[in-house]
Chains A and B, each alone.
Chain A
Amino acid sequence: GQNIDQPTEMTATEGAIVQINCTYQTSGFNGLFWYQQHAGEAPTFLSYNVLDGLEEKGRFSSFLSRSKGYSYLLLKELQMKDSASYLCAVRDSGGYQKVTFGIGTKLQVIP
């Protein structure tokens, strides 16, 4: 099974940079996802890491260290619309490759 930990809440200022951390303990690993979820809406895909290192996509970057069971999502040039929950999700390596979601980090961007 999977155990995923991430902070429940964070606050950051518009225009700033914020890093959201995720740690996981897993019996098998085949990739880590970050999703954004606005209140009352479905999660939307942000990024995917399966190898160690940094993946950059515009204002969003995601980092993975498999040996440490650690990932972070970096958001640059924060905008008010970035206020949302950010879900870390880990995929198993066995069978059909089940994805387990963390509880999410609720980010509030303030002026």
Chain B
Amino acid sequence: DAMVIQNPRYQVTQFGKPVTLSCSQTLNHNVMYWYQQKSSQAPKLLFHYYDKDFNNEADTPDNFQSRRPNTSFCFLDIRSPGLGDAAMYLCATSSVGSATDTQYFGPGTRLTVL
């Protein structure tokens, strides 16, 4: 089945130790998103790729970076995680130009910072 896959599902890192979260998709969608969601809060968009074009939200900290080496894969790099970065990180994809442009989410990676 076509889907959005995130690895790992659970990630534990130490304060200040770089971490990379990965996302892959078999939907062949042209847009990939990274959201941060903390407990009882709305998903907060960090950035997205429209094909190879990178779009950063104005309030996304510089500590967060992203790479999209090809259509299928997208990575979220947190250069120096702080305690406040502990959250669920959601990857989503969509096909801009389709009838609904619905975003399809992966299962998420829950990040713990010690």
Residues of A within 8 A of B (CB): 4, 31, 33, 40-45, 48, 87, 91, 96-104, 106
Contacts and interface: CB of A to CB of B under 8 A. Distances in A.
Contact of B103 (A41, A45, A103): A45
Q: Tell me whether chain B's interface is mostly helix, strand or loop, or mixed.
A: loop
A23 to B, nearest CB: 15
B96 A96 contact: yes
Given A96-B55, A97-B96, A101-B43, A31 B101 contact: yes
A100 B108 CA distance: 18
Contacts of A4: 42
Given A42-B106, A43-B90, A91-B101, 10 more contacts: A41-B107, A41-B108, A42-B107, A42-B108, A43-B105, A96-B48, A96-B55, A98-B45, A101-B42, A103-B40
Contacts of B50: 96
Given A87-B42, A102-B42, A48 B100 contact: yes
B43 A40 contact: no
Contacts, number: 46
Contacts of A91: 101
Interface of B: 31, 40-43, 45, 48, 50, 55, 88, 90, 96, 100-108, 110
B102 A33 contact: yes
A88 to B, nearest CB: 9
Nearest to A33: B102
29 contacts: A4-B42, A33-B102, A33-B103, A40-B88, A41-B107, A41-B108, A42-B90, A42-B107, A42-B108, A43-B43, A43-B90, A43-B105, A44-B105, A45-B103, A48-B100, A87-B43, A96-B31, A96-B48, A96-B50, A96-B55, A97-B101, A98-B45, A99-B45, A100-B45, A101-B42, A101-B43, A102-B42, A103-B40, A103-B42
Top 5 A-B pairs ranked by shortest CB distance? A42-B105, A101-B42, A48-B100, A103-B42, A42-B108
